[in-house]
Amino acid sequence: MAVRLTVLGTSVPLRSLDAGRAGSGTLVSSPSANLLVDCGPGVAKRFHESGNLLSALDAVLLTHHHWDHVSDLWTLVMGRWEESLYRAGEGIPLPAPLTIFGPSGTEELLDRLFGPDGLARHDIESRLEFGYRSILPDGPGPFPRPITRDLAPGETVEIADCHLTVAGAHHCEPILGSLSYRIESDGRSVAFSGDTAPSDEVASVATGVDALIHEGAVIADPSRPATHVHSDALTVGRTAAAAGAHRLILNHHLLDDGDEPTRARIAVQVKENFGGELVFAEDLMVLEV
């Protein structure tokens, strides 16, 4: 059975504020699991717009902790809780707590938000006391604090029918940890680069994947070739070719909708090294791998 990808956000930081696009976020739906890779600004709203249920989300995978990849976590966690309670009021069982994986510091980040002394504590306490008794007269029960786990390159994780392989990326180390991921289910595979400069680790974890979703933060700007934190069109193509990926999906980019001349120029540069299928991601695009 195919794995479905729902692109929830494609933008780089400020463009998600001025261009009506959401920040980084992609939903991976296998036959038995729903995994969200990154949760940038606007992703929770896009999740709702895509027709998916937050209460059906099993896990979040964070590639790194820049705000354009994590800033909607508060919205996502609280929205999932509220949606679940409303569904429980209709007799639908509450889901298991959300699991959130990410690089070093993820457990600390979520504890600062949702721990006993976290920033969300008064929001949570007031809703437990006043907000949800009209939905569930006996009370909503304890807040389902997300389960969090810091991951390191080389680890593997089983999430329902999904096998997750963790690798490194090259973005802002050592100040900020960065990860790339490979997700496999039912014989299908997809890899996520996260934000990264050209990386052998990304190419390795993406070996032979059906689809590689790779950042393209500087691909639309010829004055900004590959840097120590991002990849350009030429190096993205080299990474995809080194991996032997069947499809390359360019995400996290500066491309305007309908800018076909720029897309054509970038496609020429990518295909200097990569001979597979090339896709430019757009918000709310749905793909199967």
Q: Give pLDDT, residue 18.
A: 67
Q: Give pLDDT, residue 15.
A: 65
For the beta sheet containing 34-37, the strands, ordered from the edge strand earlier in sequence to the opposite edge, are 147-150, 99-102, 59-61, 34-37, 25-29, 4-9, 286-288
Q: Could you tell me the domains of the chain?
A: 4-288 (3.60.15.10)
Give the contacts of 117 (CB within 8 A, at least 6 positions apart): none
DSSP 54: G
Give the contacts of 129 (CB within 8 A, at least 6 positions apart): none
Q: Give pLDDT, residue 183.
A: 98
Mean pLDDT by 10 residues, the chain (289 residues): 93 73 96 97 95 97 97 97 93 95 98 97 91 79 95 98 98 95 97 97 98 94 85 96 98 89 96 97 96
Q: Give pLDDT, residue 191.
A: 98
